[in-house]
Amino acid sequence: MNNNNYKRTEQDIPEKLHIMLMEDDKMVSRITKEMLIRLGHEVILAEDGKEAVRLFSKLRHSIDIIIMDLSIPRGMGGIEAVKKIHEIEPDARVVVSSGYSDDESMVNFEAFGFCASITKPYRLQDLESVLFDKVDQ
C-alpha cells in the first residue's frame, strides 16, 4: 500500500463504516473524528476502555471496526479493553493506536488481540489505509 504509484479508485474505498474511536485526549478525538467523517464514515466516541466495552456490548452489530488508544492514564486502556471486547465478540476488529510506535503491543499487535496498529499523530492516508486493509477481513 505504500507504493506511491498506486491510486485507489471509487470501487476500492469501502462504503460508510461505523467506527468506534476510543481516545481520552479530547483534541485528538475531535480531530480524528473529523478526519474519519471526511473519509465518509460514522464515528462513535468513547473516552476510555470501560466506556468502549459498554458501548460495544450495546452496539456490536453496528460497529465495523474500533480504533483504540493504547494508554488511558485515568481509565482502562487498550490492552485490557480489547480482551473484554473479544469476550463479547471474538471476531471484533480492533486497531491499536499510540504515539509510541516501538511499544511491544504496537509492534506485535496480533499477540495482544489487535488486527492492526496505527501511530499518532494520524495522517488521513494512514487512517484510510488501515480501514481499507482491515474492513474486508
The one-letter code for the residue type at 49 is G
Averaged pLDDT of the chain: 88
Task: Calculate the CA dihedral of residues 90, 73, 119, 58 and round it to 10 degrees.
Answer: 30
pLDDT at 43 over 90: yes
| C-alpha to C-alpha distance for 75 and 113, rounded to whole angstroms | 19
Phi, psi (rounded to 5 degrees) for 68: -125, 125
C-alpha dihedral sign at 115, 63, 71, 31: positive
Mean pLDDT, rounded, for 50-70? 97
Domains contained in the chain, CATH given: 18-135 (3.40.50.2300)
pLDDT at 6 over 50: no
Least-confidence region, from 56-60, 108-112, 133-137: 133-137
